[in-house]
Amino acid sequence: MRRRPLFLGLILIGAIVFGLSRIDVGEKVRDLTLPLRHDDIIRQQADRFDIDPALIAAVINQESGFSDQTSNAGARGLMQITPETAETIETLSGGETFVY
């Protein structure tokens, strides 16, 4: 009789360990250490240009506090880029079009 609860307990522990092994721990740690607004596009662009997403998030946080806005100087968006700077970046990056 005592073996049955022990056996069920071992099965339960095995199921928990199996379930936990299926979790992408790296992704969960990343989400806890770098919780981002707009994280999908930040991570996509960070991967595309091989840049740490934390750096992109830090620039956005410093420039706009994650609030899409236009400054008195005409800088726009989350990273507060002026239209003139956007055109320069467009030219230097191979002509990718920015939408103002």
Catalytic residues, by residue number, are 63
42: Cβ contacts below 8 Å, ≥ 6 apart? 36, 53, 56, 57, 60
Distance CA(51)–CA(81), nearest Å, equals 18
Distance CA(83)–CA(65), nearest Å, equals 20
Longest dimension (CA), the chain: 79
